Amino acid sequence: MSDDTAHTTPTTFRATVPGVARIGVNRELKRAVEAYWAGRIDATALERVAAGIRRDNRQRLIAAGFDSIPVNTFSFYDQMLDTSVLLGALPPRVASVADPLDRYFAAARGTADIAPLEMTKWFDTNYHYLVPEIGPDTAFALDPAKIRDEVAESLAEGVPARPVVIGPITFLALSKAVGGAAEPLSRIDDLVPLYAELLGELHRAGVHWVQIDEPVLVTDEGSGSHDLADLAERVYAALSAVADRPRILVQTYFGDAADRLAALGRTDVEGVGVDLVAGTSDGVVSAGLTDKLVVAGVVDGRNVWRTDLDEALAALDSLHGHVGALAVSTSCSTLHVPYTLRGEYDLDAALHGWLAFAEEKFAEVAALSRALTHGITDQAEQFRASRAALATRESDPRLRVSAIRERLAGLEPTDWTRTAAGVRREAQDAAASLPVLPTTTIGSYPQTVEIRRARLALRNGAIDDTAYRTRMQREIAEVIALQERVGLDVLVHGEPERNDMVQYFAEQLDGFFATANGWVQSYGSRCVRPPILFGDVTRPNPMTVGWITYAQSLTDRPVKGMLTGPVTILAWSFVRDDQPLADTAGQVALAIRDETIGLERAGVPIIQVDEPALRELLPLRAADREAYLDWAVTAFRISTGGVADATQIHTHLCYSEFGDVIGAIAALDADVTSIEAARSHMEVLDDLNSAGFAAQVGPGVYDIHSPRVPTVDEMTASLREALAAVPADRLWVNPDCGLKTRSNDEVVQALTNLVAAAHRARDEVAAPIG
């Protein structure tokens, strides 16, 4: 960079975060975006809400005392989709939508005749991104309008804005090749010039620092000619050689970037961001970053526990002399935690003291940064409060309940090993008479505004328990009648009583706390309120038996019991960090085991235990995977291993590429596995076959994430594809996932078509063509 900019540019900063949430403290963005989709507000009104959220975010960070503020972390739907727009990489099928905002939403959600992008998990979090599609004809071109506007509005307020973009390596590594294109990473040399052009633009706009996110550098994604350390060195050597550019911070998170840090150290980038919660300072010390600003993420950006400030300060001190300059940060964007503890009046007082949401984390970052500069006595009160809170956490009796610990320690492998699958199949076939290609759904039916209002009314005391129960029973009765009308074979109760498939259970288990307003974005406009698993987990009472037996009393067809599995309960909660996840999983597994046994005793013949997050918790480094899969599979099997041969155990998986965990899916030893496949065209069945999976399987034939209703022809085609991979006597017919986000009209039409497709496929199986 030229000398005249170098001395006018602030060369360093001391306190920041890699990014922040954008859904709004009271989910303003969710409501505005959904109103825009429904045609209730126009683009101007939507943009007004968005601008308000961005302004509020900047003010919060300035108020916290930060001297560098991330911008462009706002998004109407997803930051990967924003990057597809930035790089001109939207799929050609959305080009026909003229308006840029509508084109953007078409890529995200699909329209009546445009299929949306595939959605999958963002690393090991419960956030989902839209997978960019790179075809042979993808011609990248820079479209910097969004980032330019967000920079301009920040600089106009005098905010020290640090625009954030996803880096080229991460973008391509997370993309998918379509239309016979080569591996996306092979296009890296096409992207580097676009990022160089962007750097020039931002420099001219008056930006001093840019943050380029490369979380993929903490994974094992690269291979062969795409070794991640080599790529990082090559790409960032090229970008740091650009004349007249802002200073570059390459930001990693979610793990230890290990040898990739040294590779970055050999380039001329000015800053490197590291996650010191998932990674360690040792790696930074040996990386040769003595002329760089190291942005040290010592405050956990994705869990909710208050930071041990003494320990964090020690980690920072250990970097002294090994880095050029030091800034304090969270380990990753606070996208993954709620906004603030303020207003959480119902939280147990002790627990309240153990926690830090985003706003409280900003204060921790600021306190550490000041302690680093001015000494610890300057921040004595903050440090004292941190120590006091941690002390009460360690001594709380709810963290060690001996009965549950003894029960878990006494389990034997026989407790989680069922009879051979073939023997179970015979017993189950004898117990129920299902047609070939049985049809079913995954559990939830539309969670209508009326259902949610009823729950809100119960919370506010406007209606009592009895009125609420009656109201939900009416829903169940309607869902049962709907399924009978449409002609499904295995029915569900529809889950109207569940605010969320994890929170619902957490609210009934001991060892958990729920928040009042702790919303976190899951994808697009959809949010979750992850419960806080703080202590030993036990199940004081049955949680689902009454609802399921009520549903069964209304029909002669079998009704599936519906539970959430232990891995998913952990993945979608904020989990205690004072013991191995495997131990916590075992406790949750015992609670679910008691519930499966309770359902069986109540006469429920089929029980589904959902594990959609099995893939999500898979460690990012291959070396850690076997140990994880071992405890995850064991936890599922503890949950389901206490029932008789004739009781059919289903499981359900979604939201992921399952290639890496196929062996574990087989090892779950479920009788029937329903699995997302509609957006990825049955690729999963070939994977299952190559892993020797021999149980029954229901690959989804209806993409429930899109408002599009699939036709009978489309679903029949999917079933033919499935039948080419799996024999008819092992195949089920079902949607990709639960129907809670869809409307009643869509569901009735789609399920009518699904049953018709199943009937056609049955005819073809009975009398094969040719």
Binding-site residues for L-methionine sit at 442-444, 495, 610
User: Which residues within the stretch 616-675 sit at the binding site for ligand MET (CB under 6 A)?
Assistant: 652, 654
**700 lies in the binding site for Zn ion (CB under 5 A):** no
168 binds ligand MET (CB under 6 A): no
Burial of 72 (0-12, 13-18, 19+ CB in 10 A): buried
Q: Is 612 in the site for ligand MET (CB under 6 A)?
A: yes
Q: For ligand MET, which residue has the nearest CB? A: 738
Asked if 678 touches Zn ion (CB under 5 A), the answer is no
Site for ligand MET in 669-728 (CB under 6 A): none
Q: Kindly indicate which of the ranges 245-253, 399-407, 493-501, 685-693 contains the residues binding ligand 39S, using the contact rule CB under 6 A.
A: 493-501
- Write down the least CB distance from residue 451 to ligand 39S, Å: 7
Backbone angles phi, psi at 91, to 5 degrees: -65, 145
Taking CB within 5 to 8 Å according to partner kind, which of ligand MET, ligand 39S, Zn ion, none is near residue 643?
A: none
**Least distance to ligand 39S from the beta carbon of 27, Å?**
7
Rank residues 276 and 533 by Cβ distance to ligand 39S and give the closer one: 533
Q: How far apart are CA 552 and CA 259, in angstroms?
A: 57
Using the rule CB under 6 A, is 85 a contact of ligand MET? no
Q: Return binding residues.
A: 27-30, 121, 126, 442-444, 495, 526-527, 572, 610, 616, 652, 654, 676, 737
- Residue showing tokens 């429904």: 38
Judged by beta carbon, residue 273 or residue 494, the one nearer ligand MET is 494
Residue 698 Cβ, how far from ligand 39S at the closest point, in Å? 18
**C-beta closer to Zn ion: residue 216 or 613:** 613
Q: Which of 173, 737, 757, 761 binds Zn ion (CB under 5 A)?
A: 737
336 binds ligand 39S (CB under 6 A): no
Give me the phi and psi of 736, to 5 degrees please.
-65, -30
Tokens of 590: 């015992």
- Residue 561 touches Zn ion, criterion: CB under 5 A: no
Q: How far apart are CA 497 and CA 572, in angstroms?
A: 19
Considering only residues 537 to 576 of the shown chain, the ones binding ligand 39S according to CB under 6 A are: 572
- Scored b (16 or more CB within 10 A) or e, 534-557 reads bbbbbbeebbbbebbbbbbebeeb
Shortest Å distance, C-beta 268 to ligand MET: 45
The answer to the question of residue 528 lying near ligand 39S (CB under 6 A) is yes
For ligand 39S, the nearest residue by Cβ is 499
Give exposure, 683-714, as e/b (b: 16+ Cβ within 10 Å): ebbebbeebebebbbbbbbbbbbbebbbebeb
Q: In this chain, which stretch among 159-167, 263-271, 420-428, 647-655 interacts with Zn ion, using CB under 5 A?
A: 647-655
Q: How many CA atoms lie within 13 A of 57 on its CB side?
A: 32
272 phi and psi angles, rounded to 5 deg:
-135, 130
Element (H, E) at 8: none
Restricting to residues 598-627, name those near ligand 39S by CB under 6 A: 612
Asked if residue 610 binds ligand MET (CB under 6 A), the reply is: yes
Q: Which residues contact 354 (CB under 8 A, 6 or more apart)?
A: 305, 306, 389, 390, 392, 393, 534
Pick the closer one to ligand MET by CB: 370 or 740.
740
Question: Considering only residues 83, 281, 444, 656, which one is a binding residue for ligand MET as defined by CB under 6 A?
Answer: 444
Asked if 350 and 294 touch (Cβ cutoff 8 Å), the reply is no
Query: Which CB, 116 or 738, lies closer to ligand MET?
Result: 738
502 binds ligand 39S (CB under 6 A): yes
Strands 648-653 and 606-610: parallel
Q: What angle do CA 619, 624, 630 make, to 5 degrees?
A: 90
User: Bridge partners of 212?
Assistant: 165, 250
Interface stretch with ligand MET, choices 109-117, 176-184, 410-418, 437-445 (CB under 6 A): 437-445
Q: Is 262 in the site for ligand 39S (CB under 6 A)?
A: no
Piece in contact with ligand 39S (CB under 6 A), picked from 75-83, 274-282, 302-310, 449-457: 449-457
- Binding positions for Zn(2+) are 652, 654, 676, 737
For tokens 């609420």, name the residue.
468
Cβ contact 641:418 at 8 Å: yes
Asked if residue 614 binds Zn ion (CB under 5 A), the reply is no
Stretch that binds ligand MET, among 8-16, 106-114, 438-446, 536-544 (CB under 6 A): 438-446
Q: Which does 569 bind (CB under 5 to 8 A by kind): ligand MET, Zn ion, ligand 39S, none?
A: none
* Interatomic CA distance for residues 190 and 139, integer angstroms: 9
Phi/psi zone of residue 682: left (φ > 0), alpha (ψ -120 to 50 degrees), beta?
left
Q: Within 10 Å of residue 598's Cβ, how many Cβ atoms?
A: 18
Asked if 738 interacts with ligand MET (CB under 6 A), we say: yes
Q: What does 500 interact with, of Zn ion, ligand MET, ligand 39S, none (CB < 5 to 8 A by kind)?
A: ligand 39S
d(CA 457, CA 451): 10
Which part of the chain contacts ligand MET (CB under 6 A), choosing from 97-105, 300-308, 442-450, 631-639?
442-450
- Can you read off the two tokens belonging to residue 24? 């709004």
Can you tell me the distance from the alpha carbon of 472 to that of 468, in angstroms, rounded to the nearest whole number? 6
Burial of 727 (0-12, 13-18, 19+ CB in 10 A): exposed
Q: Least separation, in Å, of the C-beta of 629 and ligand 39S?
A: 20
| Interaction between residue 737 and ligand MET (CB under 6 A) | yes
SS3 track for 125-152 = CCCEEECCEECCCCCCCCCCHHHHHHHH
Residues making up the chain, counted from first to last: 770
Chosen from ligand MET, ligand 39S, Zn ion, none, partner binding at 562 (C-beta under 5 to 8 Å by type): ligand MET
Q: Is 705 marked active-site?
A: yes
The whole-angstrom separation of Cα 758 and Cα 701 is 10
Residue 256 binds ligand MET, judged by CB under 6 A? no
| Beta carbons within 10 angstroms of residue 416's beta carbon | 20
In one-letter notation, the amino acid at residue 55 is: R
Of the listed 203, 650, 705, 759, which one is catalytic? 705
How many residues belong to the site for ligand 39S (CB under 6 A)? 22
Give the separation between CA 160 and CA 62, rounded to whole angstroms.
Answer: 9
Tokens at 366, concatenated: 């600021």
By CB under 6 A, which span of 91-99, 172-180, 495-503, 537-545 interacts with ligand 39S? 495-503
| Residues making contact with Zn ion (CB under 5 A) | 612, 654, 737
Catalytic residues: 705
Binding site for ligand MET (CB under 6 A): 442-444, 501, 562, 610, 612, 652, 654, 737-738, 740
Residues found near ligand 39S in the complex (CB under 6 A):
126, 447, 449, 452-453, 455-456, 499-502, 522-523, 526-529, 572, 612, 655, 740-741
